[in-house]
Structure 1
């Protein structure tokens, strides 16, 4: 007589529950999140079929969700960055990864910290507000110039009006360039500008596999703080 394989335990914590409350994740979306967590290892690519999730729902409540509602709760998880869709095969089958709960707690951005410092250092004089806005605009232009030069130094060229790319934080530009080099650089990419654009949009350096590789390469160096500033 063969023994049954041990049932996989759900890696759900109070932090997951708190995240649901904070972001108003519906009970149905929460159930889908938990089901997706059981389909593989957290942070690894899986290819779930949402119709299988609907079948488990039907067993529990007598009927499954409508296609539209199923899409709605799935999109809620995407919008909250709980899951990252890598490829869509049909309306119900995806290649995706479920993010670890640690990834759902991004560090404070330097801009937010600077805003706090302004609030502490300045009084209610309207001229201070004007100075702060002017400073932000100047900083934005400065970052654009730095990013444009940084990309050009690595053989990747953008027009100076490419705001989507050039106005990103410089550390993200550096991370995108690193990802480009790790993926084979110019030998494997005939469209480096397109690669950089997609990398920034989807934040490929946050994928656990990529993050762990960067951690191995730079974790013990001062460059790590430049790539991942705590803000």
Structure 2
């Protein structure tokens, strides 16, 4: 995934792309040059996913990911041949995220009230913009490293290039998923693939919902369920 940049990641976060949509975009970057029009079979993407993590995505998930890239303008000029075979244009990231427009700095005729500062020189503003952008990128990078470190401590080992999907989740969400993994790790053969699906499908959150339902369960509910099943068997 050498073609994936910080701009690609920033666009993904801003447009709330699902992890599968980001994964498909990353795969497309290796399959076709940005700005080109090519025929792509989504089943090839799913074969790659299976080789990478041990099992493929659900077909509906792949179709939904492709549709999201179309909706967000990552893919354009789409032409469908079958449900899986498409011809489309992969938009360059420079088109999706053009450089911000900045008005030319007007030269001021009056003397600056601040010593040693020429008001006609826009350099301080430029430095401030670059510093803010760099600080944001450094913060994102630092949080990503914390996620990788937490995974390693739990016995889940990713190369950074294979863990890009975690950019779409907060550190808190990743930590909750790790705790859920640790309680269920005895039956896990492939931690990296298991954890990725766990995070994307929010298994930890769903388990909390299931626990709340179990807490609300009562003996009356048990007998009601038995009566319901008996009625259905009698009707069969």
TM range (shorter): 0.3 to 0.5
Normalising by structure 1, report the TM-score: 0.41
Normalising by structure 2, report the TM-score: 0.40
Q: Which has the larger radius of gyration?
A: 2
